[in-house]
Amino acid sequence: MKAVVNVFLKEGVLDPQGKAVHHALDSLGFGNVSDVRIGKQIVLKLHAKNKEEALKEVEQMSETLLANTVIEDYTIEIIE
Amino acid sequence: MSKKAVVVQFPGTNCEFDTQYALKKLGFDVEIIWHKEKELPEANLVVIPGGFSYGDYLRSGAIAKFSPIMDAVKEYAKNGGYVLGICNGFQILTEAGLLPGALKRNNNLHFISKHQYIRVETNRNKFLENCHVGEVLNIPVAHADGNYFIDEKGLADLIKNDQILLRYCDESGDPTILNGSVEQIAGVCNKEKNVFGLMPHPERAMESILGSEDGVKMLQGFAS
């Protein structure tokens, strides 16, 4: 089974990298961009009986290590 | 008998010997211990020094917080022992939940390495008891992830409990923006005032010939 975890800075927490890329896009003439957020994607291969079990385990991983929930949010997608 | 300090070394730590030198200069007996150890020796102070533990992979301090020694550090702190985290050590202590908040990438995305003035915000704790409130200290900073973040409620708690130790400032003591930290915070402590963390490096300010000896005044708190 495969799990894809996306980690982003929370809404309201300034993302300096996103801001820099936004400025760069702007100066390249891509003026339609209103916001840029940069995050991380973590792809895990794991053994689990079913999707629910996998989701539960990856949630625990995200809470303890993959994301710092003081500043970051995460989403999990389980792919069979 | 001289006081004993333990300096914890992780893979990627690079300030352990500077820290050892600084603490020895203040009369400490210093032992550097490897992060794989499960127990701490008897000590008056535990320092988590600066560097790049685990190459800052994932997030600064994110992997180091699970090192075997960290359970012992948490236990030591829970029992009232003094713990000081400098730079990467501060990041590790926030990741481990021993200090509130988190450190993210500097606002300007630069690695900032220079001498910086910081203002003492409180001296009602062991660490800064030899400094006076409002005192301006000249201490080097060297970090990419020093942008301190805490939510509004957390900030209110820090203020209420007198946990803000230091702020970045100019020579006259007016707060200045260095890296985007909330309220220009450079260092905090826990509510119980036995766990301390700061981004600046007092261990690099021990000799006036090298630019500043203000670090002596700071670290001396633990020596007395």
- Work out how many domains chain B is built from and give that number: 1
Residues in chain B within 8 Å Cβ distance of A66: 58
Residues in chain A within 8 Å Cβ distance of B62: 65, 68
CA atoms within 13 A on the CB side of B81: 22
Q: How far is CA B21 from the centre of its chain?
A: 16
Q: State how far the Cα of B136 lies from the Cα of B104, in Å rounded to an integer.
A: 25
Whole-number pLDDT of residue A21: 96
Q: Inter-chain contact B104–A17, Cβ cutoff 8 Å? A: no
Whole-number pLDDT of residue B15: 98
pLDDT over 80 at B36, yes or no: yes
Q: Inter-chain contact A13–B105, Cβ cutoff 8 Å? A: no
Give the gap in angstroms from C-alpha A71 to the nearest C-alpha of chain B: 7
Contact between B178 and B170 under an 8 Å Cβ cutoff? The reply is no
Tens of pLDDT along B166-217?
999 999 999 999 999 999 999 999 999 999 999 999 999 999 999 999 999 9
Whole-number pLDDT of residue A12: 87
pTM: 0.95
Domain range for B153: 4-223
Contact between B3 and B223 under an 8 Å Cβ cutoff? The reply is yes
Which residue is closest to B108 within chain A, CA to CA? A16
Tell me whether A14 touches chain B (CB under 8 Å): yes
Residue with tokens 């982003």: A8
Burial B210-220 (b: 16+ CB within 10 A, else e): eebebbbbbbb
Tens of pLDDT along B94-124?
999 999 999 999 999 999 999 999 999 999 9
Catalytic residues of B: 87, 201, 203
Give the gap in angstroms from C-alpha A70 to the nearest C-alpha of chain B: 7
Residues in chain B within 8 Å Cβ distance of A9: 104
Whole-number pLDDT of residue A80: 79
Tell me whether A28 touches chain B (CB under 8 Å): no
Question: Which of the four CATH numbers 3.40.50.10440, 3.40.50.2020, 3.65.10.10, 3.30.1280.10 does domain A2-79 have?
Answer: 3.30.1280.10
Tens of pLDDT along B47-99?
999 999 999 999 999 999 999 999 999 999 999 999 999 999 999 999 999 99
Whole-number pLDDT of residue B224: 86
Contact between B133 and B94 under an 8 Å Cβ cutoff? The reply is no
> Following DSSP, what letter does each residue of B61-85 receive, concatenated?
TTTGGGSTHHHHHHHHHHTT-EEEE
Residue of A14, A40, A65 lying closest to B180 (CB–CB): A14
Which residue is closest to B101 within chain A, CA to CA? A70
Tens of pLDDT along B152-178?
999 999 999 999 999 999 999 999 999
Tens of pLDDT along A21-79?
999 999 999 999 999 999 999 999 999 999 999 999 999 999 999 999 999 999 999 99
Tell me whether A66 touches chain B (CB under 8 Å): yes
Residue of B59, B63, B66 lying closest to A68 (CB–CB): B59
Residue of A17, A68, A70 lying closest to B109 (CB–CB): A17
Whole-number pLDDT of residue B59: 95
* CATH code of the domain covering residue B174: 3.40.50.880
pLDDT over 80 at B1, yes or no: no
| Residues B43, B30, B25, B216, CA torsion sign | negative
- For chain A, give the longest Cα–Cα distance: 50
Q: Inter-chain contact B150–A70, Cβ cutoff 8 Å? A: yes
* Whole-complex ipTM: 0.87
